[in-house]
Amino acid sequence: MTRQPAFRLFVLVCGIFLVLPLRSTRAEVDVRLGGVVKLYTSIFTQSGPGGGFLPHEAGDFALTRAALWLKLNGYASDNVSFRGRVDFIYTHDHDFDRLSDLESVSGFSSEAQDLDVYFREASFKIMDLFVPGLDLIVGRQRVRWGTSDEYNVIDNLNPVDYANLYSFDPDFFVDHIPMDGFTLEYQFPVDFDLKIQGVYYLYFRPSPLPAGFEAFFASSQGSRLDALTAPIGLPPGVSSVHIGDFPDYNVESGVFGIRLSGNLLNFDVGLSYLRGYQTLPLPERIVADLTGEVPTIDGFYGYPRLDVVGFDLAGEIYSVGIWAEVGVYLPGSIRDTTLTVRTLLGTEEESFPLLDRPYTKYTVGFDYTFGVGEGLYWNTQFNHGFYDEFSYTTEADEALGVDQAGFLGKLEDYYLTFLEYSFMSETLRVKLEFLLEVADYSDFSRNTTWVLGPEIEFIPFDGTSIRISYLTFNGSDATKLGAFSDSDLVYVLMKAFF
Partner 1 sequence: MKRKEKTILSLVILSVFLAATQANAMEGEEVLARVDAVLSAPTDGTSTATMTLVDKSGKTKERRLQMWTRYYKDKDDWSLVKFVTPAEVRDLGFLSLADDKMYLYLPAFDRVRRIASHARKESFAGSDLSNDDLSTGKYTDHFTAKITEETDQEYVLELTRKPGSNRIYPKSVVWVNKENFTIPRMKMFDKGEKLWKTFEGEYEQIQGYWTMTNVTMTDVKKDHRTVMKMEDIQFDVGLEDKIFTQRYLKRKTKGD
Contacting range for partner 1; rule: CB under 8 A; set: 19-27, 247-255, 262-270, 324-332: 262-270
Which residues inside 224-243 make contact with partner 1, applying CB under 8 A? none
478 vs 266: CA distance, rounded Å = 43
Q: Strands (DSSP E) along 142-254, which ranges?
A: 179-187, 195-201, 238-243
Which residues inside 440-469 make contact with partner 1, applying CB under 8 A? 461-463, 465
Is 55 a binder of partner 1 (CB under 8 A)? Answer: no
Q: Which is nearer to partner 1, 75 or 118 (CB)?
A: 75
Q: 80 forms bridges with which residues in the sheet?
A: 77, 126
Letters for 301-320 (x = contact with partner 1 by CB under 8 A, - = none) are: -------------xxx--xx
Is 367 a binder of partner 1 (CB under 8 A)? Answer: yes
Contacting range for partner 1; rule: CB under 8 A; set: 110-118, 131-139, 285-293, 342-350: 131-139
Which residues inside 60-79 make contact with partner 1, applying CB under 8 A? 73-75
Q: Which of 39, 60, 90, 133 binds partner 1 (CB under 8 A)?
A: 133
Q: Which is nearer to partner 1, 186 or 213 (CB)?
A: 186
Of 345, 272, 283, give the one whose Cα is nearest residue 310. Answer: 272
Least Å distance between CB 137 and partner 1? Answer: 11
Contacting range for partner 1; rule: CB under 8 A; set: 88-96, 298-306, 332-340, 368-376: 368-376
Q: Which of 250, 425, 442, 445 binds partner 1 (CB under 8 A)?
A: 425
Question: How many CB atoms are located within 10 Å of the residue 1 CB?
Answer: 11
Contacting range for partner 1; rule: CB under 8 A; set: 14-22, 29-37, 337-345, 399-407: 29-37
Least Å distance between CB 427 and partner 1? Answer: 8
Residue 133 DSSP symbol: T
Task: State whether the Cα torsion 475-477-482-484 is positive or negative.
Answer: positive
DSSP 229-273: HGGGTPPP-EEEEEE-----SSGGGSEEEEEEEEEETTEEEEEEE
SS3 at position 310:
strand
* 207 Cβ contact partners less than 8 Å away, ≥ 6 residues apart: 159, 160, 161, 162, 177, 279, 280
Residue 5 has phi, psi (to 5 degrees) of -55, -35
Letters for 180-199 (x = contact with partner 1 by CB under 8 A, - = none) are: -----x-x----x--x----
| Beta strand pairing call for 359-370 and 376-384 | antiparallel
Q: Which of 49, 50, 198, 375 binds partner 1 (CB under 8 A)?
A: 375
343 vs 83: CA distance, rounded Å = 59
| Contacts with partner 1, residue ranges (CB under 8 A) | 30, 32, 34, 73-75, 81, 83, 132-133, 135, 142, 144, 147, 149, 185, 187, 192, 195, 263, 266, 268, 314-316, 319-323, 367-371, 374-375, 377, 422, 424-427, 461-463, 465, 495, 497-498
